[in-house]
Amino acid sequence: MKSPAQTSSTARIITIGGGKGGVGKSIVSSNLAVAMAQSGQRVVLVDCDLGAANQHVLFGIDRPVPGLQALLDRKITSLEPALTPTPHPNLHLIAGTGASVGAANISHGEKQRIMKKIRALGADVVIVDVGAGVSFNVLDFFELGSQRLLVVTPQVTSIQTAYSFLKGAVLRTLRHHAEKNDEIALLEPAITSKENEKVSNLLARLRTEHPEFAEAVFKVLSRFNAQIIGNQVFEQNQTGIFHAVSRMISDFLGISVPILGYVGVSKRIRESVNQRKPMLLSDIKDENAKVFREMAEALLLEDVQLDDLLIEEEDIESVAPDAAVEVAERTQIEAGPSAAHIDAERTSIELSANGPSESGAGEGETNFQAEYNPYARKHFRHVVDWTSSLARGKTAIGTVRVHEISAGGAAIESSERLEIGDRLTLVFENLEQRPSVYVTVARRIPQGFALEGEMPATVVAAATANPGTGKRMAG
């Protein structure tokens, strides 16, 4: 293998974050890195969980080459000398900082130095395992990626903090862009407000009042490129929770965040942690191995490009960071942006009939519950892979692929142009007696359209008995 240091530029940077610790982002990061390395990619895994770095432990490396700490201490001027080999020849690790007091509280200039050197790494893929929480440092490391993954578990606290994390990341990105264009005042009310105003509403007002700036902001959000990985899933009905969060994020934050995949609760994964070897590097047989490889393949197939609308980095080796920025970020390191904390401290919520719940909800929890409930599925969803047909009245429209069925509707892919509100007939060609149902096109979803209609009991029974294998549905 050619060393990553011998190549000239990085094709893609993938950042992996989570709203809180313990959601499994480091395990997801390590196994995705191995999966990509096994596919022939030259991969560098950067442990940016400052103060709580553990990737070297997961790989069974007792003495990693000094990594980010050496860069911060100015013992090295690039990250190539910080590359630690791993058991797979295509994968190198850059270790994070140790668990010393204040290790996570790096300055603005130090953060910029790390980000600049990560961008300069030569590899096919750089995966950045960022820390938890909503501090500016964490959010900026997450923003570094051209592909951004949010690891979420079905637990209440994970869901709430994941939404808070992503909201903070979106507002941080918008603020960067506004600073570049000297228009920060236009976004300041949403950034500092403690109200849950939809970012999409803010942007709609911008489009009316400041159309040129609004178009630039819309372009930034359209290229935000975040996806959710559901982790520690006990049973299939919990997957509906992630879809509800995806829909809520789309409505409130104005960005599409599809589901990349689900990782089930696994004794094998726990064993791999104790053995200090990522599951994909061992002989352990586990269905999640296929999930990691499918997610890695999907990420590598995506076209990526640098977002030229984001703030341009200054030459931090020769220019000192702005003092006001330095002070502002240091005061926010623990608290994070106020807008990002809107939901972070809420600790109980009844999510849905199939989701987890806790008692003792206060006013904040009640508000969040009211916001969440419209996005929660009312019926269990079954993943299928069926060929069916659509008709408008007596006129056939064409063949569609059905990839989800519930008692209250279906999710389809169609090459035909459909309009929201269309009343159609869905015919299940693959089932005996070709049952049909009247449906309404309810909304667009990343893989097609969501249809609403009362599914015949025979259709739901067939979906239950013969589930498909799709992993990437969202909506």
Q: What is the pLDDT of residue 318?
A: 41
Mean pLDDT (the chain, rounded)? 77
* Cα(362)–Cα(379) distance, integer angstroms: 27
Percentage of the chain exceeding pLDDT 70:
75
76, amino acid identity: I
Residue 418 tokens, joined: 């459909």
Q: Is the pLDDT of residue 377 over 60?
A: no
Beta strand pairing status for 91-94 and 147-152? unpaired
Question: How crowded is residue 111: how many other Cβ atoms within 10 Å of its Cβ?
Answer: 21
Alpha-carbon torsion angle 231, 235, 239, 241, nearest 10: -90
Phi (first) and psi of residue 47, to 5 degrees = -90, 95
pLDDT range class, residue 437, cuts 50, 70, 90: very high
* Cα(393)–Cα(92) distance, integer angstroms: 59
Among 36, 227, 11, 2, which Cα is nearest to 119's? 11
Q: What is the pLDDT of residue 97?
A: 73
* Cα(415)–Cα(401) distance, integer angstroms: 10
Question: How crowded is residue 317: how many other Cβ atoms within 10 Å of its Cβ?
Answer: 10
Per-residue pLDDT averaged across 338-364, rounded? Answer: 33
Q: What is the pLDDT of residue 353?
A: 28
Q: What is the pLDDT of residue 370?
A: 59
Segment 44-85, tens digit of pLDDT: 999 988 877 888 999 988 889 988 888 988 999 999 999 999
Q: What is the pLDDT of residue 2?
A: 45
* Cα(409)–Cα(424) distance, integer angstroms: 12
**52-56, 162-166, 244-248, 302-306: least confident range:** 302-306
| Range among 28-32, 188-192, 300-304 rated most confident | 28-32
**112-126, 184-198, 414-428: least confident range:** 184-198
Which DSSP symbol is given to 333? Answer: T
pLDDT range class, residue 86, cuts 50, 70, 90: very high
Phi (first) and psi of residue 374, to 5 degrees = -60, -20
Per-residue pLDDT averaged across 157-164, rounded? Answer: 85
Q: What is the pLDDT of residue 204?
A: 76
pLDDT range class, residue 27, cuts 50, 70, 90: very high
> Is 239:233 a contact under the CB 8 Å cutoff?
yes
Q: Is the pLDDT of residue 461 over 60?
A: yes
Q: Is the pLDDT of residue 321 over 50?
A: no
